[in-house]
Amino acid sequence: MSVGPEDALEAVVAAAHARDAQLSKAERRRRGVVHTPPAVARFVAREVDSALRGLGLRGLGDERVALIDPACGPGIFLAACLAEAGEGAPGAALGLDVDARALGAAEALLGPSFGRRGWPLSLRHGDTLSGPPPPLEGRVPVVIGNPPWAGRSANRDAAYTEGLLDDFRRDAEGAPLGRELHAARAHLGREEVELPEEARALAQLRFERPGIWGQICPHRIANLRAELGAELGAGDDARAAGTCREILELDEGQAGTRAALVGALARLGQRERAESELSQLVGPPSAAPPVVQEARKQLADALWRRDRTEEAGAIYRALLEEPMSDDDRRQIAVRLLGLEMGGAGEAALRGLLVPRRDAQSDAATAMHFVARLSRVREDGLAPYLEARQLQFRQRFDLALPLIERARERGLPSPLLETEARRMEAMIRFGADDLDGSAAVWRAILADPASDTGERAEAEDWLQRVVWARAR
């Protein structure tokens, strides 16, 4: 039985095709059996992950999130969420369907991979529209599934449709949802909450909308974006640049695609063309700051790869002066640290962080560069980076002694020290050291230097430890 997220997604697609073969066209239409192409499912999952991060959550893998597919079938959207998510796990992942056979397939195909990643999969047989609402336990509900892509709806009974929509606009007691909004505002004691600059930048990214052609041709753009992802993953920047242009011809407002084009052109050595595309992102009108920052980081990475260290360093330093998430700031700070080291240390970090596009980049190669770094640095940076590689591959047993060593030796910045402590808490959880994980999360809660987000995350993980003990 396959357990990896990519294998699970492929198996779900095969099960969907097998299910189609068992049903006549009339039966599929009567029961509303429509299977979404995997490229579209992954596109939707990526967009949801981005939207959640824009709201200050940690994407699809945030404990505060409850994923719900109200008509999951064999589970293609749930599988796509698992494949696209980063670290962590949602508080709940619920799939509902009226087809018991489809749910059985989902359980068999998704159970192993969800279990390995620590995702709490729950499948329920029944009609979503007529059954009771799923228990959310205070989590953020994220409904994901196959939307009506057609230009016109087949539900021509406006009164019936409006009646269903009215139900969704009310809470469990039948009161309008606006009541909760007003109650929340009263609790805060004011009508508005001022956001820090980095949050405003993420909000701009979250609420950007595609152009009209992006809305009319979602399948075409989704398929092209899937091709683009494969080309970038294979290091084929020439083809990736061509695919970016195809997407931008359909919808020139795809800022993320233009940022990818900046990176591809820069890596191909076409700096003037890369900077021309970057200037379109800068505007006016300007794309969301996180998108512009990503494009500039890719340009700096390409310059570093070509030994243009002073120019790369200038871009990295300028980026660090701007509001951004801690994750992005940490990535840039480590790059700048490598530049400032020079010599063998710089070569090792450059090989790890901005590998050559014509060379294979895999776990063994990453470990090689970490080993080279460990020979020139006595602090905890090398074991920290090695622990991250192993954590990403769910080898928590191997990652735990490394992150302990990294914290004992000390990290070169407070930002990395904070992240190393957070990593240790999650790695201990993954290694089934629930007591140790809880102890680290409690230390984060008790630390006066922890901010509101860090304390909220610690509380969420402590609840997860309670749930894991009760299993």
Q: What is the mean pLDDT of the chain?
A: 79
Higher local confidence (pLDDT), 139 or 417: 417
Separation between Cα atoms, residue 90 and residue 88, nearest integer Å: 7
Separation between Cα atoms, residue 428 and residue 210, nearest integer Å: 41
The answer to whether 77 and 145 are in contact (CB under 8 A) is yes
Q: Is the pLDDT of residue 156 over 50?
A: no
Separation between Cα atoms, residue 317 and residue 325, nearest integer Å: 15
Q: Which of 147-156, 212-221, 310-319 has the lowest mean pLDDT?
A: 147-156
The pLDDT value given to residue 73? 82
The pLDDT value given to residue 165? 54
**Domains of the chain with bracketed CATH:** 5-146 (3.40.50), 378-471 (1.25.40)
pTM for the whole structure: 0.57
pLDDT in tens, 439-450: 999 999 999 998
The pLDDT value given to residue 216? 45
Where b means 16+ CB within 10 Å and e means fewer, 430-465 reads bbebeebbbebbeebbeeeebeeebeebbbbbbbbb
When pLDDT is averaged across residues 368-390 and rounded to a whole number, the result is 90
pLDDT band at 418 (very low <50, low <70, confident <90, very high): very high
How far is residue 297 CA from its own chain's centroid?
Answer: 19
When pLDDT is averaged across residues 149-169 and rounded to a whole number, the result is 51
Q: Which of 249-258, 359-368, 376-385 has the lowest mean pLDDT?
A: 359-368
**Percentage of the chain with pLDDT > 70?**
74
Separation between Cα atoms, residue 373 and residue 396, nearest integer Å: 22
Separation between Cα atoms, residue 67 and residue 121, nearest integer Å: 10
The pLDDT value given to residue 125? 82
pLDDT in tens, 51-87: 888 777 888 988 888 899 988 888 889 989 988 887 7
